[in-house]
Amino acid sequence: MITLFHAPGSRSVRIIWLLEELGLDYELEVLKRGEINQAFIKASPFSKLPTIIDGEVVMSESVAIVQYILQNYGEGRLEPNHDSEAYAEYLQWLHFGESVLIDPIVSILINKVFRPEEHRHEYSIKSAEKSFMKVIKTLNSIMEGRTYIMGDDFTAADIINGYTLRLADNLKLLSDAPETENVVCYFRSLQSRAAYQKAISDTTH
């Protein structure tokens, strides 16, 4: 069984969401603030979440973990067939959510939340907000007429991007303005999924 090291709100939410969508059994090791967890230190040399252990396999990059789980346990679910043309587009969206889309959000989080107040940098916040809006407006036009990021079918790319949009929503970066409404509508539909709800609940199950 997969063991997942998790902290509420962190990228490990993506992996719970995936495991719940697939209906797979898993064991959660919830990390508590200020507590030293030797098993986590051993499994994750960079101290990053999510980290999974599956037998001899130890991994700690969320997108790679998603690819690994689908490859080994997905039975073809939540991704296009690897031989199909759609697979290339799917891979692109899968990685987009942990690169282009999340980059400005991380910068905003660092400067608005993580750093002590005296080291926060207003210009970096404004510039990251501008970058985020540029990306989100383009995404908004791509999402016109699409239910999910790949079109009609829910895939793991929605999990990666959905978590990132949750961060944006928490930072009040999403609004119902016409230039972002398709993205907001998409995110609201992701929020209504039972697996998402379970992943964001304060998971001590």
Ligand X SMILES: N[C@@H](CCC(=O)N[C@@H](CS)C(=O)NCC(=O)O)C(=O)O
Q: Please report where in the chains the tokens 């699409």 appear, as a residue.
A: 146
Nearer to ligand X, 62 or 67 (CB): 62
Q: 66 vs 184, which CB is nearer to ligand X?
A: 66
Q: What span, in angstroms and rounded, lies between the C-alpha atoms of 12 and 199?
A: 9
Which is nearer to ligand X, 36 or 123 (by Cβ)?
36
**In whole angstroms, how close is the CB of 97 to ligand X at the nearest point?**
9
62 vs 180, beta carbon nearer ligand X: 62
Q: How far is the CB of 124 from ligand X (least distance, A)?
A: 18
Cα distance between residue 178 and residue 183, in whole Å: 10
In order, the DSSP letters of 171-189 are TT----STTTHHHHHHHHH
- First CA to last CA distance, the chain: 15
Please identify the residue of the shown chain whose CB is closest to the bound ligand X: 62
Q: How far is the CB of 119 from ligand X (least distance, A)?
A: 17
Least distance from C-beta 85 to ligand X, angstroms? 26
Strand segments, DSSP code E, in the chain are 2-6, 26-30, 51-54, 57-59
**Cβ 6 to ligand X, closest distance in Å?**
10
Give me the least distance between CB of 48 and ligand X, in Å please: 4
Nearer to ligand X (CB atom), residue 52 or residue 149: 52
Distances 79 to 26, 66, 165 between C-alpha atoms, Å: 21, 10, 20
Virtual torsion, Cα 128, 63, 11, 80, nearest 10 deg: 100
Per CB under 6 A, residues contacting ligand X are: 10-11, 47-50, 61-63, 98
| Residue 140 or 157 with smaller CB distance to ligand X | 157
Kindly provide the b/e burial profile for residues 20-35, where b requires at least 16 CB atoms within 10 angstroms of the residue's own CB.
bbbeeebebbbbeeee
